[in-house]
Structure 1
Amino acid sequence: MHRGTQIKFTLINPTSPLWRIGVHQRPANSGVFRFSMLASLYVAASMPLYVETKIVDEDVEPVDFDDDADIIGISFMTYNAPRAYEIADRFRAKGKTVIFGGYHPTFMPDEAIQHADAVCIGEAESSVPRMMEDYMNGRLKPFYRSQLVDLAGLPVPDRNLLRQRAYITTNTLQATRGCFNRCGFCSVARFNHYRLRIRPVGEVVEELKGLGREVLFMDDNIALDKEYARELFKAMIPLKKQWHSQCGIGIAEDEELLRLAAQSGCRGLFIGFESLSRQSLENWKKFGNKRVDYLEAVKKLHGAGIGVFAGFIFGSDNDGPDVFADTLDFLLEANIEVLQATRLTPFPGTPLYEQLDREGRIFDRDWSHYDFFHVVHQPLNMSVRELHNGTVWVQQQFYRTDRIIRRVGRASGYLHPGTVVRALLPLNLGYRHKLAAYESLQKKLSVQPKAG
């Protein structure tokens, strides 16, 4: 190709059969789990001017295998790897150039390159201009290792590349990226080289001005740098936004930071509690949580008018069959608004994967099972079936209709009415339907946990 030629680039985000449009009956209220694909938008924003980018989300529209794009990009996590390879193989059979990016290709590049012409290792923003230039000159290399992106001057994404009405919101952005904690099960921190990067507060505020009233920060931990978070929250107060994000439980221990978060419009936070066991937290190097009284922390968050979306992981080496009832008791006592309960999953690239692989305890290498709904390793103090069924039990008990009604009633006393109507209730109903649909899909596909 010669300079001046326009390149057509289609970036595909594959998804599982549960969510893929046109494959199975998708669960009711599933739209509440569809957020704007910010990572893909940033890739598009980083492309040279001679590249025309189209984004295809399999959760929203089917893949067109007659696409006339010059290059097919596929970005995926571990559980979507088999589907990504299937898509790539079909396009390459038609003579298309395929480029991979995302978490799984970054940690498993030698596997991924078997199905692609090039693999982007790490963040794509700094690599895609070089990749496009090399493609134009007929010298595309198999691997591109990127440097961490400087968030100063981060381009504002073109949200018009998405089907706006297909997502619960496209008002998403980032103020920070990465994490310096070293939790053993987390691939996010490893992907970001255990570093936290921050955007200039002024740039974040300017982007916020162009968004709607309700926004979602896609940060890994928006208050990890407390001084930065204070500056950001103060600057956001005049904007009168209502926002949600992900954060560490430590925010509840800082009275000023919590007050500023509430004043700036924080209405809900996803918080990784992970476990009630102090030993499990220590083994996972989740040291920040060990010092916190969970019940008191949730009480403080509720007192600030902030809902709590709690993440818990079952299957640590310290968990026995009693962990499920104990965790449910806490969830109900604390009136946690939303629960994400997952089975411990050793993702490639994490210290946990390396440990369990070394110990010979990973018995399932079907990447499609690395979706938090399957058990892929042998627990120490319970069977595989006990871990699977126990997690199902907690979810079913938490999302019982009577308990949803009760928690909504209680939350109405301390949360903003809009948060209850547009977040708490839809998420509860969404999870209830999602869990039922997943169990039905597993039976349909005859997928059962292996005994152990």
Structure 2
Amino acid sequence: MLRSRKIRFIEPHGRPGRPFNAWIQRWPLLGPITLASILHRRGYDVAVYNENLSGSVLDNPKAYEDICSADVVGISIMTPTANSGYTLGDRLKTDAPETTVVFGGVHASFMPDEALGHGDIVVCGEGETVIESIASGEARRGIIRARPLEDLDDLPTLDHSLMYDFEKLLALCRRRELYELPVMASRGCPHGCTYCSVTRMFGRNVRRQSVEKVHRDLCRYAERGFRHLFFYDDNFVSDRQWTKNLMERLRPMRMRFNAQARADLHWTDNSRRRRDEGLLNA
């Protein structure tokens, strides 16, 4: 029987002493978890290392040996984590020359030539439409400008347990139901603020999962013992009717959630009632 191709994703650690580290330790990037969930469903040997949670893989011989034996290593970087990601990419090209090193994430999308100097492939934009060609070995070199995923309902329910030490993260909250599980139901924002990178990354045409799809996923998370969510959506209330319909589905589930919205959000009676019921923090 043919061996399943081995894919490892890494979220590098931030620079020491930065306040941002406390945030990224508690709430991981969803890009690596999403891509890992897709490939896991397709039969790949896949896992995610989060250095903000587990420590540097370069200081963990067992983890580093596992990574060096992978067919493909995907490194997702933001600007605060780019240097550590580049250091890791450079080491892998020396210690594991047969491994394809792929950079993705916001920083790599905006600085692809810089990132390509430390790896084999750079994915600009959303990786879901190209991850299969990379994981299978079909794509091996260069800058790939990925086509955005049109129908977000095609995404699988996220499997956060594919991230090493996820149970350790939950233990920090004492009880599983107290952890704000990161999820995402839409991409993009209609406003295009000058200081924000969201529209350059995801566009101003907001794409949303159907309320039915989000509800199915939330039911699965509830079955896993989670009762508190953190929607990473860039603007959770840009479509008020969609938000209202989703909150109606959430109300009987008694699941609390945090979400992001513009500061000038006008609290309607419905939104205020949900907040008073303890369902919504924004």
Q: Which has the larger radius of gyration?
A: 1
- CA offset at residue 260 of structure 1? 4.0
- CA offset at residue 205 of structure 1? 1.3
Distance 2:236 2:119 in 1: 35
Deviations 1:140-177 (A, max 9, x none): 23122212222123200112213223255362222222
Q: Is the 8 A contact 1:91 1:98 kept in 2?
A: yes
- CA offset at residue 198 of structure 1? 0.9
Distance 2:275 2:154 in 1: 25
Q: Which residue of 1 aligns with 2:73?
A: 72
Q: Which residue of 2 aligns with 1:420?
A: none
One-letter identity of the residue aligned with 1:105: A
Q: Which residue of 2 aligns with 1:205?
A: 215
Distance 1:144 1:31 in 2: 30
One-letter identity of the residue aligned with 2:36: A
Distance 1:51 1:80 in 2: 27
Q: Which residue of 1 aligns with 2:176?
A: none
Q: Is the 8 A contact 1:159 1:170 kept in 2?
A: no
Count of matched residue positions in the alignment of Structure 1 and Structure 2: 256
Q: Which residue of 2 aligns with 1:88?
A: 89
Q: Is the 8 A contact 2:31 2:76 kept in 1?
A: no
Aligned to 1:42, which of 19, 34, 47?
34
1:185 and 2:177 correspond: no
The change in CA–CA distance for 1:118 and 1:30 in structure 2 (over 3 A counts) is closer
TM-score computed with the length of structure 1 as normaliser: 0.53
Correspondences of 1:264-283 after superposition (within 5 Å): 265-266=279-280, 268-269=281-282
Q: Which residue of 2 aligns with 1:244?
A: 258
One-letter identity of the residue aligned with 2:49: V
Where do 5+ consecutive residues of structure 2 fail to align?
Answer: 58-62, 174-178
The change in CA–CA distance for 1:250 and 1:17 in structure 2 (over 3 A counts) is closer
Q: Which residue of 2 aligns with 1:195?
A: 205
Deviations 1:11-67 (A, max 9, x none): 111122337xxxxxx99x948951244222111122272421111111122314333
Q: Is the 8 A contact 2:72 2:135 kept in 1?
A: no
1:225 and 2:218 correspond: no
Aligned identity (percent) is 28
The change in CA–CA distance for 1:119 and 1:31 in structure 2 (over 3 A counts) is closer
Correspondences of 1:153-172 after superposition (within 5 Å): 153-162=154-163, 163-167=166-170, 168=173, 169=179, 171-172=181-182
One-letter identity of the residue aligned with 2:65: D
Distance 1:242 1:191 in 2: 28
Distance 1:50 1:84 in 2: 27
Correspondences of 1:107-146 after superposition (within 5 Å): 107-133=110-136, 135=137, 137=138, 139-146=139-146
Correspondences of 1:424-435 after superposition (within 5 Å): none
- CA offset at residue 258 of structure 1? 3.4
Distance 2:210 2:114 in 1: 38
Correspondences of 1:291-310 after superposition (within 5 Å): none
Query: 3-state SS of the aligned residue for 1:180?
Result: coil
Query: 3-state SS of the aligned residue for 2:6?
Result: strand
Where do 5+ consecutive residues of structure 1 fail to align?
Answer: 20-25, 270-452
Aligned to 1:176, which of 168, 186, 202?
186
Q: Is the 8 A contact 1:226 1:257 kept in 2?
A: no
Q: Which residue of 1 aligns with 2:12?
A: 14
Distance 1:260 1:120 in 2: 39
Q: Is the 8 A contact 1:11 1:72 kept in 2?
A: yes
- CA offset at residue 116 of structure 1? 0.8
